[in-house]
Structure 1
Amino acid sequence: MSLLKTQFVNDKDTDLKEKKYGDDHEKIYNCIRRPNARLSVENHDIGNDIRDFHLKDTIMPEKLFKVIIIGDPTVGKTAFVKRYVQKSYSREYKGTVGVDFALKIIKVSETETIKLQLWDIAGQERFTWMTRVYYKDAHGCVIMFDLSNKNSFLNTLKWKKDVDAKCTQLDGGPIPCMLLGNKCDLPQRQIDQLDIEAFYKENNFIGWTETSAKDGLMVNDSMQFLINSMLGQYNDEIDQPELVKLSGPNAENKKSCSFC
């Protein structure tokens, strides 16, 4: 499965007007890893690849996907969302209180549009009691850590277990979840890539990559990989009334597809 580069973004200040743009980042620090897959990045029309999922040939309604962005405080979740949706970055830090929302529009073809509803969830412990509400009906997840902060990486296991326990698909399996190591532009790395590689495989993430919200490196590509996984799930569940359900505290934990 190849990584794609999103060509349409939402302009929040012009009533969600779509505008086409090109990704000029030629230097890719680290491609998303997954079993039995070639490491490559291709630049082509998203429509050609989306059709590879063999969705129904009829004109389809607009698809709405909810993605939750979680992780420890200060790992760069809000900056990542801002870079992805608005193509901008601010050095000013302002902690998220509860949850922030963003919307991104992706035009797949003349008849197909994807709406990404991004939930930027606060990482402070005092907000964790609300996560069951925030996770409800999520189709995908990003768990982020700071490459210069080892504790933020160790805590990703806590976040993954929390998501798997509270939000599952109809078959009881976990929703597609990406592991992102942010701030790869900083020199003071504290986590070895081999440790991250082993961790993502052991804990049922669909893939991982290093990102830089500051420079925009792998921001679009990592999210497109997650979108592809959610579309795959959508295709599998297209005849079901809903994609995910909110599970109980003792729900059975099952493995999901590998998306190889």
Structure 2
Amino acid sequence: MQNLQDEDYDYLYKIVLVGEAGVGKTHLLSRYIKGTLPKNPTSTIGVEFATRTVPLLSGGTVRAQIWDTAGQERYKSITSAHYRRAVGALLVYDVTNERSFVNLKKWLADLKENAEPNIVIMLVGNKIDLGSNDPTAKKVPSDLAQKFAKDHGMLFEETSAVTTTRVREAFENLLQEIYIVKSRSNKGARQNESQGNVLIPKFEKRSGCCN
């Protein structure tokens, strides 16, 4: 999938990057949007924002509004507010940091409480390059993470923002899954409408800012 002109899109999806400080959320976003890593990386304060327009494998294009949220506890009230109307999330942990994995449950709970009820979430284990260089550095086994993702109905990827491994796939597989979920939801809504219920369309083309 490649970039299109920003004005050419059919769907607008709000995506959030969520997880502990230091797991590499900003690096993942920079690598996906700019193709490079941040020159002077610092911890995100509050939220940062970027957009990318992506063609879907099933046809049509989606403009992704991607919000990079701070992982520090003191910014929780700010970041939680930005989960509102998010239809997708990358829930990120560091494969070399077991604590970042253990704490995923609290981030997942925040997402469920503040984002859209049918939010699509992808669990992302970042920094796999460190485990490739030194197998003992990897503290979160892939099968354990896969089970956690399956138990909570999430997609799963392992990535490296440094080597670009599976970064594009993580974002764009999430966008594709959101489209599939929304298509099923809209189909069900049309069926309800045919039975006399009122259909309220959501996620229309050019629906404006979604934060």
Scaled by the length of structure 1, what TM-score is found? Answer: 0.66
The structure 1 residue matched to 2:87, chosen from 118, 139, 145, is: 139
> CA offsets, 1:209-238, max 9 Å, x none?
110011110011121211111101221233
The match for 1:191 is 140
Question: CA offset at residue 93 of structure 1?
Answer: 2.2
Aligned in 2, Cα 1:198/1:96: closer, same or farther, shift over 3 Å?
same
**Partner amino acid for 2:166?**
M
Runs of 4+ in structure 1 over 4 Å off = none
Q: Are 1:117 and 2:112 counterparts?
A: no
**Partner amino acid for 1:241?**
P
Given that 1:9 and 1:85 are in contact with CA atoms closer than 8 Å, whether structure 2 keeps it comes out as no
The match for 1:236 is 184
d(CA) in 1 for partners of 2:146, 2:29: 24
Question: CA offset at residue 147 of structure 1?
Answer: 0.7
The match for 2:158 is 210
Q: Are 1:77 and 2:25 counterparts?
A: yes
The match for 1:201 is 150
Q: Are 1:175 and 2:119 counterparts?
A: yes
For structure 1, the residue ranges without an aligned partner over 5 or more in a row are 1-5, 11-15, 19-60, 244-260
d(CA) in 2 for partners of 1:147, 1:231: 28
Question: As a proportion of its length, which structure holds more helix?
Answer: 2
Scaled by the length of structure 2, what TM-score is found? Answer: 0.80
SS in 2 for 1:135: coil
**Partner amino acid for 1:209?**
E
The structure 1 residue matched to 2:171, chosen from 207, 212, 223, is: 223
SS in 1 for 2:116: strand
Question: CA offset at residue 90 of structure 1?
Answer: 3.4
d(CA) in 2 for partners of 1:158, 1:230: 23
Alignment of 1:1-260 (within 5 A): 6-8=1-3, 16=6, 62-90=10-38, 92-108=40-56, 112-169=60-117, 174-186=118-130, 187=134, 188-205=137-154, 207-238=155-186, 240-242=200-202
**Partner amino acid for 2:201?**
P
d(CA) in 2 for partners of 1:101, 1:224: 17
Aligned in 2, Cα 1:181/1:108: closer, same or farther, shift over 3 Å?
closer
For structure 2, the residue ranges without an aligned partner over 5 or more in a row are 190-199, 204-211
Question: CA offset at residue 91 of structure 1?
Answer: 6.0
d(CA) in 1 for partners of 2:144, 2:55: 37
Question: CA offset at residue 131 of structure 1?
Answer: 3.4
